[in-house]
Amino acid sequence: MSGTTQDDYTDRYARRVRGMTTSEIRALFSVANRPEVVSLAGGSPYIAALPLDAVGEMLGRLAAEQGTSTLQYGIGQGTAALREHICDVMSMSGIDGASPDDVVVTVGGQQALDLIARVFLDPGDVVLAEGPTYVGALGVFQAAQAQVAHVAMDSDGLIPAALAETLDAVARSGRRAKFLYTIPTYQNPAGVTLTDARREEVLDICAAHGLLVVEDDPYGMLSFEGGAPRPLRARRRDGVFYVSTFSKTFAPGLRVGWVLAPHAVREKLVMASEASILCPSAFAQSAVTQYLATMPWREQIKVYRETYRERREALLSALADLMPEGTTWTRPEGGLFVWATLPDGLDSKAMMPRAIAARVAYVPGTGFYADGSGTAHMRLNFSFSAPERLREGVRRLSGVMEQELSMRAVFGSAGRTHHRRGAAAADAPGPDVA
Amino acid sequence: MSVDPHVLVLAGGLSYEREVSLRSGRRVADALRASGIDVTMHDADAALLPLLQADPPDAVVIALHGATGEDGSLRGVLDLCGIPYVGCDARASRLAWDKPSAKAVLRESGIPTPDWVALPHDRFSELGAVAVLDRIVSRLDLPLMVKPAQGGSGLGGTVVRSSADLPAAMVGCFAYHATALVERYVNGMDVAVSVVDQGSGPEALPAVEIVPRDGVYDYAARYTAGLTTWHVPARLDPAVAAHVAEVAVAAHRALGLRDLSRVDLIVDEDGTPHVLEVNVSPGMTETSLLPLAVQASGLEFGKLWATLTERAAARADAAGR
């Protein structure tokens, strides 16, 4: 009479998947897409703003007229035509003179991060990253069995002195830091931007320590107030990998991103990509190429910017009007997210069920740290919902926080919840949550 | 039931257990289809009532977990529509769903259940949390089990071994529901007994023994394959197993349940079973307990569901609907 675990593979799993478990928080997110729930939890662009009829016609023609190539296998590095367009797009951000040869097209920016991890990370290596940082990157680094050392930020982005200190601490512990992963512009989830002056400082520190820089820039074009500071890659070529995507400027459903890599590394990235996915989708690449070549994509980005600026205003003014005293938040000058800090004693993860019962969803701050911290914070998305809906979401959220505050007042600081430690991804929604 | 029976499986809903419900619903729907029954799956949403009116099914399977599926309200609506469903009626469902009410009925019926107190959060603010918690600890003794008075999947539940941990457990519980059930924690073997009635009265299926790898049967342990070992039948002395089965059936009857239920118990070191709660819409996922018991009993999951839906449809026919 032996027991069953309903999983006959338990003792055969690789070490890197340990800790991949179902979580209560993931379960709570399962209702976030129901219309009754105001979701501030997602990271979805407002795709309804696209000229969908025209895009549809374009996609139809790509299959009907060029199907023998667009529906065929492609090459691992991505099509030359798209890589040339990508260089044009990057020059708009200030990255001049990039060669299409040094661009590798990937399945969203996510695969670019995965390739970099495959090429550079051995188990036990250290990756430095802002705290908080993008949950998807944490997942990649965890899968590579690397350790993440978080570097503190303030309203001007990553703090250079904290970077230097963290590097020293890692060196003292006898571990090897391989690269700094950073989202310097309109950071996800914090919504802050690394200032011009700090960009130079950060690059200097990394150069002095021989630390590579992986610059993730999905939001740089979504600026609300003038342009974004020039990317790190526009300032230094050596040792900087630039990762971006068409997910926020066109459509995430196509899953097209890229990495601009130092020449020497590019070939390894291509081979790693071929080993992993053979080649990125030829159809999706053609779609992006055609979109960039024939449709008013720069105007479309303006539409996104205008829409998001209005929604950011709506979210910020709702927060100012409705949030309980003691709540603070960032004021993003672009991108998709506001990072809120809760009044003393509140725990965003413990509060989640109450929020779902009140029909509002957010991402608890713990989803953005590798070390389980972040309970005092939450990420709020403003790109997907209309202004009045955002306000309604904040109204519900503030009611939830008031209830939770009174609960904490009754039970005192001893009422702080102890959480089971799990992967950051267990506290963040899947990509389908809007 | 009509010549080509049509069954509607309701799954999803807005509860914390939406994901579990969708998995339960798909599993039941697949099993019914494999038995040759025409099945539609639907969420409990605004499109449901128009669908019931336009195309009334022969029977409904409520694979919704959480309030919608278990507090009796949806069953009441189905009654209003004259549509038969598998499982107990609205009244019994409401009773079983509210754990303190169910425990009171069980105790009145002589069925052992751990000592408890149920308190809404307002009582703590009015009377002072420290004083109330002290009283609870001195009366019920540590360790304690704290859980929401309504809800499932272990959400919001904590075993409290030190009184210093009690306030945190209360706060965690109140995030899920306004009333907390605090009960004496009984050490022993965790078992779940599924009760099914295929036409000759409620019968207990083999007890399932639950051994979570990390000692805690929380949400992750319930729904991540590999984190819990289940022994079916439970490793109990045959006489104890027979008694556990009797107690489970007695609990099912005491609460006035119908068709199927799952009775969760602890069997203490003396072999005495203590009923913790009774579920009227038990999980049907790959890692759920009732399907494991069905498999161990030699029944076929799809056939069992076909029988249960036929019985539900027959009840409607008998009522002249």
Tens of pLDDT, residue by residue over A284-313, are: 999 999 999 999 999 999 999 999 999 999
Q: Which residues of B touch A406 (CB under 8 A)?
A: 125
Quote the CA–CA distance of A348 and A350 in Å, as a whole number. 6
pLDDT of res. A21: 74
A8, A11, A410: best mutation site toward chain B, by most B Cβ within 10 Å?
Answer: A410
Contact yes or no for A406 and B125 at CB 8 A: yes
Pair of tokens at residue A345: 């004693």
How far off is chain B from A149, nearest CA to CA, in Å? 27
**Is residue A21 less than 8 Å (CB to CB) from chain B?**
yes
pLDDT of res. A417: 67
ipTM: 0.84
DSSP state letters, B52-73: HHHS--SEEEE---SHHHHSSH
pLDDT of res. B155: 86
Which residue bears the tokens 């999980």? B283
Which of B21, B153, B194, B281 is the catalytic position?
A: B153
pLDDT of res. A18: 73
Q: Which residue of A has its CA nearest to B176?
A: A353
DSSP state of A125: -
Contact yes or no for A415 and B153 at CB 8 A: no
Which of B17, B70, B183, B209 is the catalytic position?
A: B17
Quote the CA–CA distance of B103 and A171 in Å, as a whole number. 59
CB B273 within 8 A of CB B244: yes
Strand partners, B117: B182
Backbone angles phi, psi at A225, to 5 degrees: -130, 85
Quote the CA–CA distance of A185 and A234 in Å, as a whole number. 13
Percent of chain A past pLDDT 70, that is, above it, reads 97
- pLDDT tens, position by position, B40-78: 999 999 999 999 999 999 999 999 998 889 999 999 999
B138 is catalytic: no
Which of B22, B170, B225 is closest, CB to CB, to A411?
A: B170
- pLDDT tens, position by position, B279-296: 999 999 988 999 999 999
For residue B133, give the 3-state DSSP assignment. Answer: helix
pTM: 0.90
Q: Which residues of A touch B172 (CB under 8 A)?
A: 350, 417
B93 is catalytic: no
Contact yes or no for A6 and B226 at CB 8 A: yes
Contact yes or no for B168 and A3 at CB 8 A: no
Pair of tokens at residue B188: 């022993």
Q: Which residues of B touch A412 (CB under 8 A)?
A: 129-130, 167
E strand spans, chain B: 6-10, 38-42, 59-62, 116-120, 144-148, 158-160, 179-184, 189-197, 202-204, 208-212, 228-231, 260-267, 273-279
Strand partners, B196: B203, B260
Which of B155, B168, B229 is closest, CB to CB, to A415?
A: B168
Q: List chain A residues with pLDDT less than 70.
A: 1-2, 414-422
Quote the CA–CA distance of A424 and A363 in Å, as a whole number. 11
Pair of tokens at residue A365: 């701050």
Q: List chain B residues with pLDDT less than 70.
A: 1-3, 320-321
Cβ atoms < 10 Å from Cβ of A98: 20
A/B interface, count of CB pairs below 8 Å: 121
For residue A135, give the 3-state DSSP assignment. Answer: helix
Contact yes or no for A350 and B287 at CB 8 A: no
Pair of tokens at residue A300: 């479309």
pLDDT of res. A1: 45
Q: Which residue of B has its CA nearest to A354?
A: B175
How far off is chain A from B128, nearest CA to CA, in Å? 7
CB A175 within 8 A of CB A125: yes
Pair of tokens at residue B143: 């360790």
Contact yes or no for A31 and B229 at CB 8 A: no
- What Å distances lie between residue A355 and A2, A33, A44, CA to CA? 42, 14, 20
pLDDT of res. B14: 85
Q: C-alpha angle A197/A43/A180, rounded to 5°?
A: 40
Q: Which residues of B touch A24 (CB under 8 A)?
A: 16, 155, 218-220
Contact yes or no for B172 and A7 at CB 8 A: no
Pair of tokens at residue B123: 């009582």
B163 is catalytic: no
